[in-house]
């Protein structure tokens, strides 16, 4: 890939990790790029670090704005980007040297996906190129596995497509902003390439929406309903995959909110909350749209139990997963 790459990095109080992130990109020794840093109203030394790097390397641009959130920061970066391709990196993460293999690959696509590592665990994707006739298979697979494939990071986007359809992160969403953006992009792109190299490190150094307890079920509902509107008129395969996408987010709510240890309500009330949420139209329709014969793998086990109305059994899975997540945060 000889075209120019714009790497957009939203920054908010990341002084502890920012140098590591920037050095990992600069050390790739890939010259045809610009690094767009958008400070989102940091109160630490992040802006000073950004300014220092910009003074030393002309490829680095430092932008400062008031605290408006990660989606606004990414959109600010998109508005300033001049590259042929776009890549998003979180300031507490960093890129790995094998990313250079991806960048130097002559075969590119509208969407380029590569492997990543989370802690000591590597998420490797099977190398494959999907042309316009085949890409729907890649799209449905990604939608059905949102936590692995529908993050904004770990991918390289074609800037022309983003500009053509004026794609932006929805600044009204508190959660699932990445998924919402990714679904919009998937509906517009034609070719998708999965590359074997593990080129991104997702850091567990900081707490995130996915690792902390907070009451965000209504925010998830808002995000899912927005995504549902964006998919109106899409092929039946996409609508079917969206059912799984929705239920994977139901699982997230159960693990990180309803059955989290920090949730102070009694177990009986948690079961009641599960049933109430499952009765919301978007979850109710998604669950009914999934056939038992289509449920494969451990991630679909809660869906099987929910379809069988085995709510207490499904809660055991959510509780176990919640405790595993909490232990990871403690470690």
Mean pLDDT check: name the lowest of 7-16, 150-159, 250-259, 320-329: 320-329
The pLDDT score that the predictor gives to residue 119 is 80
Count other C-beta atoms under 10 Å from residue 314's C-beta: 24
Q: What is the mean pLDDT of the chain?
A: 94
The pLDDT score that the predictor gives to residue 209 is 46
The pLDDT score that the predictor gives to residue 100 is 92
Could you tell me if 246 and 144 are in contact, meaning their C-beta atoms sit under 8 angstroms apart? no
Condensed to tens digits (0 to 9), the pLDDT of residues 188-201 reads 999 999 999 999 99
pTM score: 0.94
More confident call, 39 vs 120: 39
Question: Is 29 a residue whose pLDDT tops 90?
Answer: no
Question: Is 331 a residue whose pLDDT tops 90?
Answer: no
Average pLDDT on 61-87 reads 97
- pLDDT band with cut points at 50, 70 and 90 for residue 213: low
DSSP calls for 86-129: EEE--TT-EE-TTHHHHHT-S---SEEEEEEEETTEEEPPPPEE
Question: Is 219 a residue whose pLDDT tops 90?
Answer: yes
Question: Is 91 a residue whose pLDDT tops 60?
Answer: yes
Average pLDDT on 84-106 reads 95
Question: Is 210 a residue whose pLDDT tops 60?
Answer: no
The pLDDT score that the predictor gives to residue 206 is 54
SS3 content of the chain, % helix, strand, coil (to 5): 50, 15, 35
The pLDDT score that the predictor gives to residue 243 is 98
The residue among 198, 197, 187, 148 whose CA lies nearest residue 164 is 187
- Phi/psi at 36 (5° precision): -105, 110
Q: In this prediction, what percent of the chain has a pLDDT beyond 70?
A: 96
Could you tell me if 237 and 193 are in contact, meaning their C-beta atoms sit under 8 angstroms apart? no
CB environment 73-111: b (16+ within 10 A), e (fewer): bbbbbbeebebbbbbbbbbbbbbbebbbebbeeeebbbb
Could you tell me if 85 and 5 are in contact, meaning their C-beta atoms sit under 8 angstroms apart? yes
Question: Is 214 a residue whose pLDDT tops 80?
Answer: no
The pLDDT score that the predictor gives to residue 327 is 76
- For residue 81, the 8-state DSSP code is -
Question: Is 245 a residue whose pLDDT tops 90?
Answer: yes
Question: Is 143 a residue whose pLDDT tops 50?
Answer: yes
> Which strand (E) or helix (H) includes residue 133?
none
d(CA 44, CA 26): 23
Question: Is 326 a residue whose pLDDT tops 90?
Answer: no
């Amino acid at each position: 890939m000889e075209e120019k790459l714009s790497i957009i990095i939203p920054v908010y109080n990341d002084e502890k990790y920012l140098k590591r992130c920037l050095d990992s990109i600069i050390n790739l020794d890939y010259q045809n790029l610009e690094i767009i840093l958008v400070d989102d109203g940091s109160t630490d030394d992040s802006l000073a670090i950004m300014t220092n790097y910009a003074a030393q390397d002309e490829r680095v641009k430092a932008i400062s704005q008031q605290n408006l959130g990660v989606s606004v920061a990414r959109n600010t970066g998109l508005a300033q980007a001049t590259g042929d391709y776009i890549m998003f990196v979180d300031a507490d993460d960093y890129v790995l040297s094998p990313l250079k293999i991806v960048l130097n690959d002559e075969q590119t696509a509208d969407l380029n996906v590569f492997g990543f590592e989370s802690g000591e665990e590597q998420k490797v994707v099977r190398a494959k190129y999907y042309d316009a006739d085949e890409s729907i298979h890649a799209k449905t697979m990604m939608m059905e596995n949102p936590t692995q494939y529908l993050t904004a990071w770990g991918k390289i986007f074609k800037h022309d497509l983003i500009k053509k359809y004026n794609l932006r992160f929805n600044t009204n969403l508190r959660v699932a902003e990445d998924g919402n953006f990714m679904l919009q992009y998937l509906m517009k792109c034609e070719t998708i390439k999965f590359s074997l190299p593990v080129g991104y490190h997702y850091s567990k150094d900081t707490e995130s929406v996915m690792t902390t307890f907070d009451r965000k079920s209504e925010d998830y509902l808002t995000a899912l309903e927005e995504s549902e509107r964006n998919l109106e008129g899409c092929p039946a395969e996409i609508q079917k995959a969206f059912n799984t996408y929705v239920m994977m987010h139901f699982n997230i709510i159960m693990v990180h909110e309803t059955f989290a240890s920090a949730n102070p309500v009694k177990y009986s009330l948690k079961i009641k909350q599960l049933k109430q949420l499952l009765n919301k139209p978007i979850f109710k329709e998604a669950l009914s749209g999934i056939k038992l014969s289509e449920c494969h793998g451990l991630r679909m086990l809660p869906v099987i139990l929910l379809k069988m109305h085995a709510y207490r059994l499904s809660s055991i899975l959510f509780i176990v997963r919640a405790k595993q997540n909490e232990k990871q945060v403690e470690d």
